[in-house]
Amino acid sequence: MLSRICNIVADMSRTRSVFWQGLRAGAPFILVISPFGMLFGVVAIEAGFDLIQTMAMTALVIAGAAQFASVQMLVDGTPVFVAILTGVAVNLRMVMYSASLTPHLGNALPWQKVLISYFMVDQSYGVAFAKYEREPDMMLNEKIAYFFGCISIIAPFWYGFTLVGGLVGSAIPPEYALDFAIPITFIALVGPSLRSLPHLSAASVSVIVALALSWMPYNLWLMVAAVLAMITGAQVEKMLGARK
């Protein structure tokens, strides 16, 4: 009995240690999440959202690129369902993220899977997956603790700085339009990632398709271009992997 209690205590200690490892690994992303969240809050207010709508969107979607894309389409007068579909299309990469994490977290409890799905963003996925690959012998509870440690430092800053941006945005006079912030933000997001053939291929296809289908109503060209670009990037990466 005493041995079992000691093992439980040791497991709890190890789980806490792994949680703090995840928190420390996610901490550097604060430098990116904070200004990005604040910018979304400002842009959403400038686009006509009130503070409650802005915070509801950032809490429900919790995906910067998809939020910016949907807000831009709503500003352009696109029907709500098309804006939602566009956000879904932008976030289709989460399906690939989920598939790659299934071998590691597939046996988690249902409520844990729900929370992991909600908090799966680029940063939490990237940090956690790299850790799992480096240490394949991690226990399931340790993997879960590491994931939540990472996102526990990221999510509050995302919510908090979105609120700051919303409050600041509502105080900016209307004559100081901030619509330009949306395309600049996307350029800043895409530019640094164009370092590999799959990324370059996806970007090229998205540009070509977007220009070719710019005549489509309700900005549907954006959704089509996003889907085709992701398919292209995945296929190119698969071909490169097969050659290796």
Task: Dump the DSSP string for 161-186.
Answer: HHHHHHHHHHTS-TTS--TTHHHHHH
pLDDT at 197: 83
From 126, 148, 180, the end of a domain falls on 180
| Shared domain check, 101 and 216 | no
In a domain, 127, yes or no: yes
pLDDT at 3: 47
Question: Would you say 169 and 45 are in contact if contact means Cβ atoms under 8 Å apart?
Answer: yes
Question: Would you say 69 and 182 are in contact if contact means Cβ atoms under 8 Å apart?
Answer: no
From 133, 154, 180, the end of a domain falls on 180
In a domain, 205, yes or no: yes
In a domain, 53, yes or no: yes
Entry pTM: 0.73
Number of domains comprising the chain: 2
In a domain, 58, yes or no: yes
In a domain, 187, yes or no: no
| Shared domain check, 97 and 52 | yes
Q: In whole angstroms, what is the distance from residue 25 CA to residue 220 CA?
A: 38
| Shared domain check, 242 and 164 | no
| Shared domain check, 38 and 93 | yes
| Shared domain check, 164 and 122 | yes
pLDDT at 130: 86
Helix (H) or strand (E) holding 18: helix 2-26
| Shared domain check, 236 and 174 | no
In a domain, 210, yes or no: yes
In a domain, 5, yes or no: no
| Shared domain check, 82 and 46 | yes
Q: In whole angstroms, what is the distance from residue 124 CA to residue 75 CA?
A: 30
Range of the domain at 216: 194-244
Q: In whole angstroms, what is the distance from residue 235 CA to residue 239 CA?
A: 6
Give the SS3 label for residue 77. Answer: coil
First to last CA, the chain: 52
- Residue 179 φ/ψ, nearest 5 degrees: -60, -30
| Shared domain check, 157 and 92 | yes
Q: What is the CA radius of gyration of the chain?
A: 20
In a domain, 43, yes or no: yes
| Shared domain check, 167 and 116 | yes
| Shared domain check, 110 and 201 | no
| Shared domain check, 119 and 236 | no
pLDDT at 185: 54
| Shared domain check, 166 and 121 | yes
pLDDT in tens, the chain (244 residues): 434 443 444 455 788 889 999 999 989 888 878 888 888 888 888 778 889 999 999 998 888 778 887 887 787 777 878 788 878 877 877 877 888 888 899 899 999 999 999 999 888 888 898 899 888 889 999 999 999 999 999 999 999 999 998 998 767 666 665 555 556 656 655 666 677 788 788 888 888 998 898 888 766 777 788 788 878 887 887 887 777 6
Q: In whole angstroms, what is the distance from residue 105 CA to residue 56 CA?
A: 28
